[in-house]
């Protein structure tokens, strides 16, 4: 039987409220971290990822470019390793405030420039010679690996983002394309400081769990696919 609309709406607003509260709590924890702690954990996380089978085997990788203000796990060492190993690299370009983001191909760090309002480095839409950059939804065979940011995570792979819905929407599109062609969906790997691991994050129906949580102490295999194949 379908739940009455009012119950669904009440449940929805309870989840939104719980997300808001948890975002505020985790932001406080992140603010309390020293730069040394952040640097050290970021370097340990990068080492774990670089040594992993999902990174070594990936021909195409999408990853966010760390923003100091957002106090995220630093991805620079991962981007450099991926470029050096000849992997195809894709990074986010926010298109609008309706959860639309593109993951665009870059060849070098010089392809990035700071974008308002947070100064996050983003690729230009076009390459130097005017041609459009390839987008992760066009990779032949599908994207292999998506390294994701977020605020809070749990051992089951639950992920609490910043509320923009950008990654939810992108993952949905990547999964749909993989399914349409009978390809493996990309490995979803979230990068997390130890301060970001919580008992359980509140989730809505559109939130997709990640496969792996990369933490300074090791890789947590969350999904059954990760437990079986990694
Ligand atoms: N490094 C990085 N790049 C990314 C994301 C991200 O989370 N991290 N995004 C992921 O979606 C997209 C950008 N979307 C964003 C959506 C919301 C907020 C946001 O609300 N930020 C702050 C406000 C910080 C401030 O004012 O200093 C917040 O969390 O309160 C930031 C980015 C694409 N690129
Ligand atoms: N697949 C989707 N298509 C369109 N809108 C979506 C999709 N997934 C989520 N959204 C919208 O995005 C908004 C924010 O969702 P939510 O709070 O779960 O974001 P988040 O997971 O914290 O953000 P992000 O995915 O960018 O890290 C919601 O209003 C939701 O309706």
User: What number does the ligand 1 atom closest to the CA of 164 have?
Assistant: 16
Count up the domains in the chain and report the number.
1
Q: Is 104 helix (H, G, I), strand (E, B) or coil?
A: strand
pLDDT in tens, 128-169: 788 899 999 999 999 999 999 999 999 999 999 999 999 999
3-class SS of residue 195:
helix
pLDDT of residue 187: 98
> What are the distances in angstroms from CA 185 to CA 141, 192, 212, 215?
10, 22, 14, 22
Nearest listed ligand to the Cα of residue 169: 2
Q: Is the pLDDT of residue 1 over 80?
A: no
Rounded average pLDDT over 213-225: 98
Residue 208 pLDDT greater than 90, yes or no: yes
Residue-wise pLDDT for 176-206, tens only, equals 999 999 999 999 999 999 999 999 999 998 8
Query: Token pair 């379908």 is at which residue?
Result: 2
Ligand 1 atom 24, closest CA: 70
- pLDDT band of residue 3 (cuts 50, 70, 90) is low
| Ligand 1, CB cutoff 6 Å, lining residues | 64-67, 69-70, 72, 92, 94, 101, 118, 120, 149, 161-162, 164, 166-167
Ligand 2 close to Cβ of residue 206 (< 6 A): yes
pLDDT band at 8 (very low <50, low <70, confident <90, very high): low
**Predicted ipTM?**
0.92
Residue 11: give the domain boundaries. 5-229
Residue owning the nearest CA to atom 30 of ligand 2: 165
User: Is the distance from CB of 163 to CB of 211 less than 8 angstroms?
Assistant: no
Mean pLDDT, rounded, of the chain: 94
Alpha-carbon distance 196 to 160, whole Å?
Answer: 10
Say how far apart CA 189 and CA 55 lie, in whole Å.
10
- Ligand 2: atom nearest CA of 101 is 26
Residue nearest to atom 14 of ligand 2 (CA): 165
Check: CB of residue 111 under 8 Å from CB of residue 124: yes
Instruction: Give the ranges where the chain is alpha helix by DSSP (H).
Output: 5-31, 35-51, 53-57, 76-84, 166-181, 224-229
How many angstroms separate the alpha carbon of residue 166 from the centre of ligand 1?
9
What CATH number is attached to the domain comprising 164?
3.40.50.10420
Q: What is the DSSP letter of 132?
A: B
Closest residue to atom 17 of ligand 2, CA basis: 163
Question: CA-CA-CA-CA torsion for 62, 65, 71, 72, nearest 10 degrees?
Answer: 20
Element counts in the chain: helices (H) and strands (E): 6, 11
Give the HSE-up count for residue 82: Cα atoms under 13 Å, Cβ half-sphere. 32
Preceding omega of 187 cis (within 30 degrees of 0)? no
């Amino acid at each position: 039987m379908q739940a009455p609309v009012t119950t669904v709406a009440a449940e929805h607003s309870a989840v939104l409220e719980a997300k808001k509260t948890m975002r505020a709590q985790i932001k406080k924890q992140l603010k309390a971290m020293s730069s040394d702690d952040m640097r050290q954990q970021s370097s340990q996380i990068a080492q774990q990822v670089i040594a992993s089978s999902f990174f070594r085997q990936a021909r195409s990788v999408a990853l966010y470019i760390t923003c100091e203000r957002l106090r995220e796990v630093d991805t620079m060492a991962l981007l450099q390793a991926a470029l050096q190993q000849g992997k195809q690299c894709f990074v986010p370009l926010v298109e609008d405030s309706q959860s639309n983001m593109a993951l665009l191909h870059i060849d070098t760090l010089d392809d990035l420039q700071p974008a308002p309002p947070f100064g996050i480095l983003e690729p230009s839409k076009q390459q130097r010679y005017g041609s459009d950059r390839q987008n992760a939804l066009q990779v032949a065979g599908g994207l292999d690996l998506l390294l994701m940011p977020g605020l809070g995570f749990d051992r089951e792979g639950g992920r609490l983002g910043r509320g923009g819905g950008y990654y939810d929407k992108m993952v949905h599109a990547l999964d749909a394309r993989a399914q349409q062609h009978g390809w493996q969906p990309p490995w979803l790997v979230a990068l997390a400081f130890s301060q970001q691991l919580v008992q359980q994050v509140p989730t809505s129906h559109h939130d997709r769990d990640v496969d792996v949580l990369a933490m300074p102490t090791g890789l947590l295999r969350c999904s059954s696919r990760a437990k079986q194949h990694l």
